[in-house]
Amino acid sequence: MSKKKFASVWDAIEDTPEEAENLKLRSALMVALKAHLSRRNLTQAQIGKLFGVTQPRVSDLLRGKINVFGLDALVNMAAAAGLHVTISIREAA
């Protein structure tokens, strides 16, 4: 059996580079949101009101359920939380 090296876990588990890139972005947004919300000491109900979503949806976010969030939803949540989202685009290695 040969060993392959991957740049990230997403590259290792996803079938296509497109899927891996999408998950990398969603993961980064979720980590940033969770850290920001943790610093603000808000309840899940307060976060839900801020984002205009239900408490169970907030729970999914805080528990890292990446498969239930798209990029648009996460960018909207970041903006509602007072975060500024930027992206960096470069040639693939």
- Measured CA to CA in angstroms, residue 70 lies from 63, 64, 80 at distances of 15, 13, 16
Q: Would you state the pLDDT for residue 51?
A: 96
Q: Would you state the pLDDT for residue 9?
A: 64
What are the residue boundaries of the structural domains of the chain, listed by start? 16-80
Q: Which CATH number fits domain 16-80: 1.20.1630.10, 1.10.287.40, 3.40.50.1860, 1.10.260.40?
A: 1.10.260.40
| pLDDT tens for each residue of the chain, 93 residues long | 678 776 676 665 666 878 888 999 999 999 999 999 999 999 999 999 999 999 999 999 999 999 999 999 999 999 999 999 998 888 876
Find all residues with CB under 8 Å of 30, minimum gap 6, and list them: 61, 64, 66, 69, 74
Residue closest to 85 by CA, chosen among 49, 31, 41, 12 = 31
